[in-house]
């Protein structure tokens, strides 16, 4: 049986570690070809070596950086069929303490970067008549309030709405746009948060299924949404939260 993403070329933005690396691995396991990005040139080289492609050092806050990476993938691979927007930042601060620089960093990366990466890829798809598929990594913090997440939560709420907007505008080109909204997942980025026993217990108490997520659980959902099994799904945010947002 043919793998679900067999022969498809995916651009995974933020593929260096954690969720991004798990998503990239899952795409390869499903038969796809991965071109992954990182802001750090050394990590970008490691990603390229891992997947047998080319290094893509990208800052998604810089349009020329995004544009150059997209052009490079089209030149090397001949096409981009799938886009995963995984790159994002968080700067936890109480709402009373959020400073403009932190706010701008979070929103420029998580919203502006996601939008213009999606737009620049979709422009190529429209020109080339490619019915592509986009999945963006949002968060449960975009659906419910979580302490110290004013900037991050509002950015992910914007991403969830943006998913609907782009899906609506691009559906007639055959482009599907979806998102996933994970709960707290055990990665390098959450290690320090979950290492605090009291904080970890408080967070865990909010998850009815009683455990944190794993990167593979999120990655499998991303692969599903990217592939033909989800061909009638667009504008949807798949919540992967163990029940966190149902109460």
**Unique residue bearing structure tokens 């502006």:** 112
Examine the residue annotation and report whether 152 is marked as an active-site residue of this protein: yes
Measured between alpha carbons, how far is 124 from 132 in angstroms, rounded to an integer? 10
Picking from 51, 61, 43, the residue whose alpha carbon sits closest to that of residue 116 is 61
Contact partners, residue 21, CB within 8 Å, separation at least 6: 15, 215
- The pair of structure tokens assigned to 204 is 């865990």
Q: Tell which residue, 155, 80, 164, has the closest CA to residue 117.
A: 80
Q: In DSSP terms, which residues pair with 93 in a beta bridge?
A: 149
How many CB atoms are located within 10 Å of the residue 66 CB?
Answer: 24
Catalytic residue among 35, 51, 152, 244: 152
Rg (CA), the chain: 17
Residues with a known catalytic role:
152
């Amino acid at each position: 049986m043919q793998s679900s993403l067999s022969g498809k070329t995916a651009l995974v933005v933020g593929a260096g570690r954690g969720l991004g690396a798990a998503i990239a691995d899952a795409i390869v396991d499903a038969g796809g070809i991965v071109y992954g990005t990182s802001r750090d040139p050394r990590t970008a080289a490691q990603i390229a070596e891992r997947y047998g492609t080319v290094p893509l050092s990208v800052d998604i806050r810089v349009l020329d950086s995004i544009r150059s990476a997209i052009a490079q993938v089209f030149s090397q691979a001949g096409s981009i069929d799938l886009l995963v927007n995984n790159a994002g930042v968080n700067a936890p601060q109480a709402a009373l303490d959020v400073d403009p620089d932190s706010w701008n960093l979070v929103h420029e990366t998580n919203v502006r970067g996601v939008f213009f990466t999606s737009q620049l890829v979709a422009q190529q798809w429209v020109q080339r008549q490619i019915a592509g598929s986009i999945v963006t990594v949002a968060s449960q913090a975009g659906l419910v309030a979580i302490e110290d997440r004013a900037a991050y939560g509002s950015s992910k709420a914007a991403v969830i709405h943006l998913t609907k907007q782009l899906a609506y505008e691009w559906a007639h080109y055959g482009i599907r746009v979806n998102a996933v909204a994970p709960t707290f997942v055990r990665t390098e980025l959450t290690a320090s948060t979950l290492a605090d026993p009291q904080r970890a217990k408080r967070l865990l108490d909010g998850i009815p299924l009683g455990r944190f997520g794993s990167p593979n659980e999120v990655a499998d959902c991303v692969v599903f949404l990217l592939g033909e099994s989800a061909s009638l799904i667009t504008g949807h945010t798949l919540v992967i939260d163990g029940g966190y947002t149902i109460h």
